[in-house]
Amino acid sequence: MATKDFGVIETDYAFFMSHATEAKSDVEEYARKLVGFGNGRSDIHLLDFGCGTGEFSRQLLDALAWPKASLYLTLFEPVDHQQEIAAKRLSCYSDHAIASLGEASYDQRPTFDVILSNHVLYYAENLGQTIDQLLERLHPEGKMLLAMAGHENALIKLWKVGFDLLNQPIPYYVAEDVAENLASHDVRIEMSLSHYQLRFPDSEENRWKILRFLFGDYLRKIPREELLQEFDPYVEDDHIAINTFSEHFLVELNAKA
């Protein structure tokens, strides 16, 4: 599948994050899934796969309030400077050095108690291989937590419109692909929904910011007016207000006989 460079759309993604309740709803959903997980554990090894600038995990770790002495963090993010920002931002939640996936220190700790990948797997080059690799790194009693939007999500519907205009299928994975792939593994899966609102002052530039975040480089090739008008049904006074939802997956390994 296509790759997507979040370095060049950093400010557009930040605009989305600051005008959506998505992160707040996702944090609440993960925190529900992790209630009591820290109790009695002296070590919690957490991998944040596709951490971006760490802003999401900052909010999650605030909510979880796990002891700094127990938490060991490992990050993976293809945009190098974002991973550096994330490491700085998250360092106050752990007494231990923040590790990077692929470092020697990471290999010394082969499994993680929690693997988080929040709205990342759309952009995997090979979803099956990525999920296999993540499951290999999940501790037998660990939890893998994923969020992904599916075909019923309003933004994925925008992808469909835009890529239809280019006469091509959506070049990214969606929640349904993750569900299908996980079904072929020997794992327990609990799915739930996370509802959120995207609301921003209506202007052509703001509509364009959301489109740049969604389409990245592809946007240059898509007829501008046809995509911009896709926001019209969501006009509320002088704002755009989109109510939609994502899927959450809690994945645990089945005990080996």
Q: Which of 44, 85, 98, 124 binds ligand SAM (CB under 6 A)?
A: 124
Closer CB to ligand SAM, residue 63 or residue 202?
63
Q: Does 51 bind ligand SAM (CB under 6 A)?
A: yes
| DSSP state string for the chain | -----TTTTHHHHHHHHHHBSHHHHHHHHHHHHTTTTTTT-S-EEEEEET-TTSHHHHHHHHHH---TTTEEEEEE-SSHHHHHHHHHHHGGG-SSPPEETTSHHHHHS--EEEEEEES-GGG-SSHHHHHHHHHHTEEEEEEEEEEE--TTSHHHHHHHHHHHHTTS--SS--HHHHHHHHTTSSEEEEEEEEEEEEEEE--HHHHHHHHHHHHGGGGGGS-HHHHHGGGGGGEETTEEEEEEEEEEEEEEEPPP-
Closer CB to ligand SAM, residue 215 or residue 255?
215
- Candidates 73-81, 168-176, 199-207, 214-222 — which segment interacts with ligand SAM by CB under 6 A? 73-81
Tell me how many residues contact ligand SAM (CB under 6 A): 18
* Stretch 1-30 residues interacting with ligand SAM (CB under 6 A): 4, 6
Closer CB to ligand SAM, residue 94 or residue 117?
117
Site string for ligand SAM, 89-118 (x = CB under 6 A): -----------------------------x
* Interface residues toward ligand SAM, by CB under 6 A: 4, 6, 49-52, 55-56, 77-79, 82, 118-120, 123-125
